Chain A
Amino acid sequence: MLGRDLRLAYRQGSDVVLALAFFIIAASLFPLGVGPDPKVLAGMAAGVIWVLALLSVMLSLDRLFQTDYDDGALELMALSPVPMTLLVLAKSLSHWLTTGVPLLVLAPVIAVMLNMPAEGFLPLIVGLAVGTPTLSLIGAIGAALVLGARRANLLTALLVLPLYIPVLIFGVTAVDAALAGLPIRPHLLLMAAILAAALPLAPWAAAAAIRTSFQ
């Protein structure tokens, strides 16, 4: 299952590339928007990167279930002996591998572009590594809920973004703590706790949502 989704994503590489291109282009808009003052940019670098990571994960969520729902593959998967929660978990994992991991690689580049101090890099990367799987998992709930709805993309944004806020807050405070010379462990542990809670609960909720879409 995981292999199939990864292969699909790889062969239709444009989706992944589009999400990443959005990430980079949107990041480069900020220096143009607020002016190229290095101090200002350094102050908001972590926030900008995190917000853009949220948005690019969110934009690629429709890939998660929508195409399989449209061509009926999702219904066949639901009929297969594999439990639905595992399917959702595999799909979220492949979504994370194709969206979250490339973001991890790109984030330091953006951080340099935005003039972020070097102490912030480690918490940013670790935070993204712990936080983006959570984003994919929570996003799976949102993507599953809107299956068959009108204007599904806008609706996903409305549903998912409020639920993303905690991850965003702890991700940014970890970087801020590092820049202020404070310990970053508590923030990262809190993010890990959110991930640990989302890992069993989100696939369960998403699986229930997918089942309701087959009426």
Chain B
Amino acid sequence: MKIANAVLPFAVGGFVILTGIGVYLGLFNSPSDYQQGDTVRIMYIHVPAAYLGVMIYGVIAGSSLSLLIWKHPLAELIARASAPVGLVFTFLCLVTGSLWGKPMWGTWWVWDARLTSMLILLFLYAGYIALSNAFDEPGRGNKPAAILALVGVVNLPIIKFSVDWWNTLHQPASIIRMDGPTIAMEMLTPLFYMLGGFTCFYLMILVIRLRSEIAASKLRIAMMSGAMASNPEADNQQSASEPGRREMEKVGG
């Protein structure tokens, strides 16, 4: 937690500065594409979002592995805290991609391999979050969710190589290549700033969410030990859904 607290100011600063530079360069100081015009600037959001969506899944899978093998409590927190962030970035990637696809490909959506595998990633995130919250006992869902995360890793190489294996509308990789990037330097620079800025943003959110998760579990323990006699089930995570469930039970029985 000390490390996390030390990282936070750098992450916030890095996010503000790098994203600031990236947005400035991307919007005002980079050439528009000779075919695509100004819509190419969607790339500066689309690519970092896609990269983070995939990378955060990797983080979740890695910490799930260490949760299952070493039972490290922090790994569980990191995975839980990262999942919604990854879901949002994957969604953002799909939305910006769709907005970009409309003027370029003439369609909002095509069922090609890259798009479909990204959609599967979105579903995997949703399944992960749903499974880890599906149990009445807090913490009971962590291990099943970790196993699901590891099963879903199959999808990551499919996303990465989908543009090479299948002949698709989506362009093949143009940054990480054996023979160097094929993007013009003036476009690559803001893209890298944005990638760095988005990563810092993820770290920032992760630290904030880790803090709140730790605070929540402390609160839960305090409430459990303090209010054992009156209501052993009261914990702050369930309190939000509790009234709704009571009502449903009333209606049902």
Contacts and interface: CB of A to CB of B under 8 A. Distances in A.
B144 A209 contact: yes
Contacts of A141: 147-148, 151
Nearest to B116: A165
A205 B151 contact: yes
B130 interface: yes
Contact of A162 (B123, B131, B134, B143): B123
Contacts of A118: none
A104 to B, nearest CB: 26
A4 interface: no
Interface in A149-177: 149-152, 155, 158-159, 161-163, 165-166
B134 A151 contact: yes
A96 to B, nearest CB: 19
B249 interface: no
Given A141-B151, A163-B151, A149 B123 contact: no
B131 A148 contact: no
B141 A149 contact: yes
Contacts of A145: 131, 144, 147-148
A146 B147 contact: no
Contacts of B140: 148, 215
A118 to B, nearest CB: 27
Contacts of A158: 123, 126-127, 130
Contacts of B105: none
Contacts of B144: 145-146, 149, 209, 212-213
A97 interface: no
Given A162-B127, A208-B147, A212-B147, A149 B116 contact: no
Contacts, number: 57
A209 B130 contact: no
B135 interface: yes
A79 to B, nearest CB: 19
> Most chain-A CB neighbours within 10 Å: which of B116, B126, B134, B143?
B134
Contacts of B120: 162, 165
B94 interface: no
B151 to A, nearest CB: 6
Contacts of B27: none
A64 to B, nearest CB: 15
B68 A208 contact: yes
Interface in B235-252: none
Main SS of chain B's interface residues? helix
A91 to B, nearest CB: 17
B218 to A, nearest CB: 22
Contacts of A163: 151-152
Nearest to B128: A159
Contacts of A209: 143-144, 147
B23 interface: no
Contact of A205 (B126, B131, B150): B150
B135 A148 contact: yes
Contacts of A161: 123
Interface string B141-160: 10110011011100000100
A150 B141 CA distance: 11
B142 to A, nearest CB: 9
Contacts of B179: none
A152 B136 CA distance: 12
A148 B140 CA distance: 10
A141 B126 CA distance: 17
Nearest to B123: A162
**Top 5 closest pairs, chain A to chain B, by CB:** A162-B123, A149-B134, A212-B143, A145-B144, A159-B127
20 contacts: A141-B148, A145-B131, A148-B135, A149-B131, A149-B141, A149-B144, A150-B134, A152-B134, A158-B126, A161-B123, A163-B152, A165-B120, A205-B147, A205-B150, A208-B147, A209-B144, A209-B147, A212-B143, A212-B144, A212-B147
Given A146-B134, A150-B136, A209-B143, 5 more contacts: A145-B144, A149-B134, A152-B134, A155-B127, A159-B127
